[in-house]
Amino acid sequence: MADVEDDRMALLRFVERFGLVLREAGMAPMPARVLAYALADDADHYTAGDLARGLGVSPAAISGAVRQLVQVGLLVREREPGTRSDLYVLDDRDLWSRFMTAELASLRRFEEAVAGGVELLGTERPGGRRLAETRDFMAFLHGELVDALARWPAERDRLAAERNGAPVPR
Amino acid sequence: MADVEDDRMALLRFVERFGLVLREAGMAPMPARVLAYALADDADHYTAGDLARGLGVSPAAISGAVRQLVQVGLLVREREPGTRSDLYVLDDRDLWSRFMTAELASLRRFEEAVAGGVELLGTERPGGRRLAETRDFMAFLHGELVDALARWPAERDRLAAERNGAPVPR
DNA sequence: CACATGCTTCACGAACTTGTGAAGTGTGTT
DNA sequence: AACACACTTCACAAGTTCGTGAAGCATGTG
């Protein structure tokens, strides 16, 4: 049954590849790997040990990673009574909506920083005008993203219905 | 005229603050500072020396930073005939639209990485299904962003007209 | 109540990143 | 033609980040 081993390797390769993209998007390496792994592996909940063994890293590394993921809401920590380990579950319904909602907070900081600059410089000088336009664009984008996220659930259901309503005939 | 000095300090403080936000968004420190400075200062073009002196850093640091900024299209390099230095101009019209358009490429990589995972895992297993939904969301978001960016120029003009057409009465 | 287990915290070594100074390169000036 | 100036490249030192191993801390189990 080397196939199982091969699958595991393939999964880990994907985890690294996807993790890299997540890192480029600003996520720390270890949380990125854990997230990718929890997404792509088939379990619906993981203990810290599962993650450590699955990824082949030390439990210490997992500890920090899950803390961050829980903090930003990408992972939920649960506790089954009569057990010694926390369970981490990837609440996959609307996962990415929630992720993006969190990202919007950083866009918000962006807006605030720029608004502070506009206040500092006024809108008469060229620099101030450029900043003001930047601020306007960020506000616009923010609004558009909020709208888009609000549309997603409906779009998601539409896609699902489409696939179920006209499944591949056999 | 310590006021001028104070203004310079205030500007540099803003540059650091804004630069920090840009770094959180994934930009390297030096390019972030240069971009913030070029945006907020009043000149409409800068030599490498202007930037180095203005920011109080070595010319060497500027060299690398502007190269990156030029590469992603945030800064344009120009050459006036009969002069020894390149001029860097912040083409501020649609600057952020272009920036976001570039960002979309990274979203694209995201989509590709996830699509690869779906291909690897199939859509029958839980992990594969989660990845498929992720892919769908990213595609949706991509489309929405493209639409939003297409709407920006009109929105921008609308805002400008509004401000000019109905200026604050006094 | 002692023990085993699983997670967490901490301090460290390795790897990477950043900006500098110094040397090099090209371009206009005298 | 030699010089001066402005930028670029390069090698390095300082600082930062990352994941590990070891020790500590809970929490069930015999």
Average pLDDT over residues B60-89: 91
Task: Provide the shortest C-alpha distance from residue A40 to chain B (in Å).
Answer: 4
| pLDDT tens, position by position, A148-159 | 999 999 999 999
H helix or E strand, kind and range, residue B79 = strand B76-79
**Is A130 an 8 Å CB contact of chain B?**
yes
Q: What are phi and psi of A25, to 5 degrees?
A: -85, 5
CB contact under 8 A, A155 and B138: no
**Is B97 an 8 Å CB contact of chain A?**
yes
In the predicted model, is pLDDT for residue B105 greater than 70?
Answer: yes
Task: Quickly name the fold that domain B95-165 has.
Answer: Helix Hairpins (1.10.287)
- The answer to whether some atom of strand C lies closer than 7 Å to the beta carbon of B87 is no
End-to-end CA distance of chain B: 32
Task: Quickly name the fold that domain B2-89 has.
Answer: Arc Repressor Mutant, subunit A (1.10.10)
What one-letter code names the amino acid at B22?
L
C-beta atoms surrounding B163 within 10 Å: 13
What pLDDT does residue B84 have? Answer: 84
DSSP string, B7-61: HHHHHHHHHHHHHHHHHHTT--HHHHHHHHHHHHSS-S-EEHHHHHHHHT--HHH
- The answer to whether some atom of strand C lies closer than 7 Å to the beta carbon of A79 is no
The structure tokens listed for A119 are 């206040």
| pLDDT tens, position by position, A7-48 | 889 999 999 999 999 998 889 999 999 999 999 999 999 999
- Find tokens 């390149």 and name the residue: B86
Of A2 and B60, the one with more pLDDT:
B60
CB contact under 8 A, B134 and A95: yes
H helix or E strand, kind and range, residue B133 = helix B126-165
Q: Which nucleotides of D are covered by protein (CB under 7 A)?
A: 5-11, 17-22, 26-29
Average per-residue pLDDT for chain B? 90
Helices (H), chain A: 2-24, 29-40, 48-55, 59-71, 95-121, 126-165
Using CA atoms, how far apart are residues B164 and B144, in angstroms rounded to an integer? 30
In the predicted model, is pLDDT for residue B170 greater than 60?
Answer: no
Q: Which nucleotides of C are covered by protein (CB under 7 A)?
A: 5-11, 17-22, 26-29
B residues 10-49 closer than 8 Å to A (CB): 10-11, 14, 17-18, 20-21, 24-26, 39-44
Between residue 46 and residue 75 of chain B, the positions with Cβ below 7 Å from nucleic chain C are: 57-61
| pLDDT tens, position by position, B29-56 | 999 999 999 999 999 999 999 999 999 9
| pLDDT tens, position by position, B134-164 | 999 999 999 999 999 999 999 999 998 988 7
Average pLDDT over residues B8-27: 91
In the predicted model, is pLDDT for residue B6 greater than 90?
Answer: no
- The answer to whether some atom of strand D lies closer than 7 Å to the beta carbon of A26 is no
Tell me the range of A88-92, B95-99, B126-130 where mean pLDDT is highest: B126-130
**Is A119 an 8 Å CB contact of chain B?**
no
A residues 45-84 closer than 8 Å to B (CB): none
Using CA atoms, how far apart are residues B31 and B62, in angstroms rounded to an integer? 8
What pLDDT does residue A147 have? Answer: 97
What pLDDT does residue B150 have? Answer: 95
Residue ranges per structural domain of chain A: 2-89, 95-165
Find which nucleotide's C1' atom is closest to B52's CA.
D7
In the predicted model, is pLDDT for residue A127 greater than 80?
Answer: yes
CB contact under 8 A, B138 and A18: no
Burial class from Cβ neighbours inside 10 Å (0-12, 13-18, 19+) for residue B10 reads middle
